[in-house]
Chain A
Amino acid sequence: MVRQHSEPYLWLLFSAGGVLSAMLMPSLLLLFGIAFPLGWVRPPTHERMLAVLANPLTRLVFLGLCVLSLVHWAHRFRHTLHDGLRLAHPMITALCYGAAVAGSALAAYLLWQVA
């Protein structure tokens, strides 16, 4: 019987977060972080933003992106603290994944507020 621990599940979530963030973030970041502020393209109107965010499928994908990206960060950051600075402690683990859970809850709440 294999001794159960959480690494396999966390790794799957980390991988999913990595793929999702890789697929969606570059274009979003290019638009909202660089192109709109620099005036290369006109940003969408407020009505359009509301319409986009009102769509249930968009909300689902957006929430998935936030949750999985945060888990991706938590898992990778925790391992990097161990590899890079030899910092490993149950507190660090709790803080990292805890922050991901908190951020996910915040994301869900903010999305719900858009309605």
Chain B
Amino acid sequence: MSPGQVQPEYRQRVLPPRVSTLWWLGKGTYFAFILRELSCVFVAWFVAYLLLLVRAVSQGDASYQEFLAWSATTPILLLNLVSFLFLIFHTVTFFDAAPRAMVMKVGRNRVPGRVVLAGHYAGWAAASAIVCWLLLGA
């Protein structure tokens, strides 16, 4: 630049951050997060399955037996197997989050996180026991 020429004003050119839409494929922990979120699809599937069961029951014994037979077909069985795995994943991760959100104090002492966690699993065990007793008990 020759003397006397005015310097152009310096404009800071920052590089804008860019996030790929498929960011969750880039790291194991990100992928596990998406899988955890997608477990909700299997929750919804099981609601549909339960409603199909209720409808079959209300239509009579033949319908109910037909439903049970259908539930034993390979594609449905596989779907339910996968759903079960995702549901366990959902249960474990959801219960893990509970102590982080529910911070309680008894008097001046904080209830330890593992007590909150144990409470959730105790509830799960009790609920499972009741389900089994209702359906399988004498």
* A residues lining the B interface (CB < 8 Å): 15, 17-19, 21-34, 36-38, 41, 43-44, 46, 48-50, 52-53, 58, 62, 65-66, 69-70, 72-73, 76-77, 79-80, 83-86, 103, 106-107, 110-111, 113-114
Contacts and interface: CB of A to CB of B under 8 A. Distances in A.
Given A23-B124, A107-B47, A110-B51, A46 B38 contact: no
Contacts of B40: 72-73, 76-77, 80
Contacts of B132: 27, 31
Interface residues of B, number: 51
Given A69-B44, A113-B58, A21 B90 contact: yes
A32 B49 contact: yes
B114 interface: no
B64 A34 contact: no
Interface of B: 21, 24, 34, 37-38, 40-41, 43-44, 46-51, 53-55, 57-58, 60-61, 64-65, 68, 71-72, 76-77, 80-81, 83-84, 87-88, 90-91, 94-95, 98, 101, 120, 123-124, 127-128, 131-132, 134-136
